[in-house]
Amino acid sequence: MTIGAVLAILATTVGTYGRFVLQTTRLDQNHLSMAAVVPLALIVLFFARSIRLSRGELLVIFCMPLISSTMPTYFIGKLTANIAIPYYMAGPENQWATYYGSYLPDWAIVPPGEQLRWFYEGLPPGAAVPWDIWVVPVLWWMTLIAAFYICALCLMVILRKQWVEHERIDYPLMELPLALVETPEDGRFFSIPVMNRPGFWFGFGTTMFVILWNVVSYFAPMFPSIPWQLPSLQFGRYFPPIPLRLYWIVMAFGFFMKREILFSLWFFDLFTNVEIGIFNRLGYKVEMIEEYSTSPLSIGAQSMGALIAIVSVGLWMARDHLRDVFRKALGRASEIDDTSEILSYRASVFGLIGSLMYLLWWHVRTGMEPTFALVFLFGALVMYLGVTRVIAEAGLISLRAPLTPQPFGMMLLGTDALSQRTLVSIAVAYSWCSDLKTTIMPALAHSTRLFDTIPGNRRRLLWPVVVAMVAGVVSTFAYTIYSG
């Protein structure tokens, strides 16, 4: 667990440094982070035998940075910027202070002043990092993050048996770490069996050749590069262009996906393009603009309806299992065995209820009307659970939500019916619930799937998950503020 904790902290700090300082490699770019895969491969190749790491220990080492790598840039990086920007950017031109300054929850926003300005413009000579202005808002946001993480963990524990044993979901993204920890073959050069096969080196060599070739052209612009962005395909003036890209990692993981799912992705992407073209030709348009949802928003709303259907059907299919879980939690089904879970069903059910109640209270405290807060949390649960289900079943390495809960709630209730304080609280909620380029729930789903292959008492595997969460959140906040 010590190795995993160190890698979890490195995943957050190196990810933040690479994105914000170097502005190069994005270790947290997708739902299977390089910050987890590369260290696992290096440990198996060079250290696993000498320090005698078992297969279970290697999987724990992999899961800890997998969990923490969901935190930099796309989550806590955006959160830190969102709580620091209101007073810094407020001015007479935009009149932010006039329109929403009095509605901002002071305990959740970094206060104005010179010390806030230093975060964006740098410390003056001899000055120390002003940690004191960050303590109160960061601690309050940490409580919300803790509630969200508990909610996600409890959901994944409750649904693990249904997804893994009853429905036998494939979890295609986990084919890679499982291949890395396979038992070494006797008399072969590499300790990772797949690396002893010609097919691996053909695929590795092809992609690495293209990458290294284009590295040269990056530093020498006159050197010819191998294109990976091809001319877009477009059916007509009203139809949006379809970008064609040689995205190697997507092509590679497509190998593990079922053909029916691959065909569906292709077909419905084409179908959506035709639908948008028809909307454009008829002049149908949704005026609301939302950065983190599918564009146009009419397609995002339609896709959110599909996501609600996916989640609803999944829960209906799991009704017998969920009934057993709740009976076990209430002490009415002693015959049901939950020792194969990293958390008991009783703790999971009451943890889920408690975390949801805290999330509701937290948003009401920021000024959100209780009715909207309930709709918002429903949309958030559908979004996170639906995206996690699609990633687990389809193996999509890169996926965002079709519609975030904020416009979902505003579409259902109407912005005219919402108070100004609620609208400001909706903006504050974007700090933690916006861009799902990376998020913790798929990482927890994949971790519980891998833990299912480890024999013995699985309750002890809860601690690596908790350590990865705590270490990841603290180190990401600390290094993001420090780097600013």
Query: pLDDT per residue over 30-74, tens digit each?
Result: 899 989 999 999 999 998 878 888 999 999 999 999 999 999 988
Confidence of residue 256 (pLDDT cuts 50, 70, 90): confident
Task: Evaluate if residue 253 carries a pLDDT over 80.
Answer: yes
Strand ranges (E), 71-166: none
pLDDT of residue 380: 96
Confidence of residue 252 (pLDDT cuts 50, 70, 90): confident
Higher pLDDT, 252 or 327: 327
Q: How far apart are CA 147 and CA 365, in angstroms?
A: 15
Task: Evaluate if residue 431 carries a pLDDT over 80.
Answer: yes
pLDDT of residue 150: 97
Within 8 A by CB and 6+ apart from 390, the residues are 310, 396, 399
State what percent of residues in the chain have pLDDT above 90.
68
The tokens describing 431, both together, are 């700090």
Task: Evaluate if residue 189 carries a pLDDT over 90.
Answer: no
How many Cα atoms are found within 13 Å in the side-chain-facing hemisphere of 167? 21
Based on its alpha-carbon atoms, the radius of gyration of the chain, rounded to whole angstroms, reads 24
User: Which H/E stretch holds residue 243?
Assistant: strand 242-245
pLDDT of residue 172: 93
* 237 class by beta-carbon count within 10 Å (0-12 exposed, 13-18 middle, 19+ buried): exposed
pLDDT of residue 303: 93
How many Cα atoms are found within 13 Å in the side-chain-facing hemisphere of 132? 4
Task: Evaluate if residue 344 carries a pLDDT over 80.
Answer: yes
The whole-chain average pLDDT of the chain stands at: 92
Residue-wise pLDDT for 138-179, tens only, equals 999 999 999 999 999 999 999 999 999 999 999 999 999 999
SS3 256: coil
pLDDT of residue 64: 97
| Average pLDDT over every residue of 435-450 | 93
Burial string for 267-282 (b: 16+ CB within 10 Å, else e) reads eeeeeebebbbebbee
The tokens describing 3, both together, are 């190795």
* 482 class by beta-carbon count within 10 Å (0-12 exposed, 13-18 middle, 19+ buried): exposed
H helix and E strand count, the chain: 19, 2
State what percent of residues in the chain have pLDDT above 70.
100
Q: How far apart are CA 171 and CA 173, in angstroms?
A: 6
| Average pLDDT over every residue of 126-130 | 92
Q: Is 324 left (phi over 0), alpha (psi -120 to 50) or beta?
A: alpha
Confidence of residue 229 (pLDDT cuts 50, 70, 90): confident
Q: What is the pTM of this model?
A: 0.93
Dihedral Cα 411, 417, 419, 422, nearest 10 deg: -30
pLDDT of residue 209: 92
